[in-house]
Amino acid sequence: MTRRRKIYEGKAKILYEGPEPGTIIQYFKDDATAFNAQKKGTINGKGVINNRISEHVFTRLAHIGIPTHFIRRLNMREQLVKQVEIVPIEVIVRNVAAGTLSKRLGIEEGTPLPHTLLEYCYKDDSLGDPLIAEEHIACFGWATQEEMQDISSMAIRVNDFMSGMFAGIGIRLVDFKLEFGRFFDGDFARIILADEISPDGCRLWDIETNEKLDKDRFRRDLGGEVEAYQEVARRLGLLPDEGSSEIMDLDAHRAKKSK
Q: What is the 3-state secondary structure (H, E, C) of 147-202?
A: HHHHHHHHHHHHHHHHHHHHHCCCEEEEEEEEEEEEEEECCEEEEEEECCCCCCCE
The pTM of the full predicted model, rounded to 2 decimals, is 0.91
Class in CATH terms, 85-206:
alpha beta
Report the pLDDT averaged over residues 126-152: 97
pLDDT band, very low/low/confident/very high, at 215 (cuts 50, 70, 90): very high
Fold (topology level) of 6-83+225-258: Phosphorylase Kinase; domain 1 (3.30.200)
Please give the pLDDT value at position 183. 98
The tens digit of pLDDT for each residue in 74-99 reads: 999 999 999 999 999 999 999 999 99
Kindly report, as residue ranges, where domains of CATH 3.30.200.20 are found in the chain. Answer: 6-83+225-258
List strand residue ranges (DSSP E) for the chain, in order: 6-9, 13-17, 23-28, 31-34, 39-42, 70-73, 78-82, 85-96, 112-122, 131-132, 171-185, 188-194, 202-206
Kindly report, as residue ranges, where domains of CATH 3.30.470.20 are found in the chain. Answer: 85-206
Please give the pLDDT value at position 241. 60
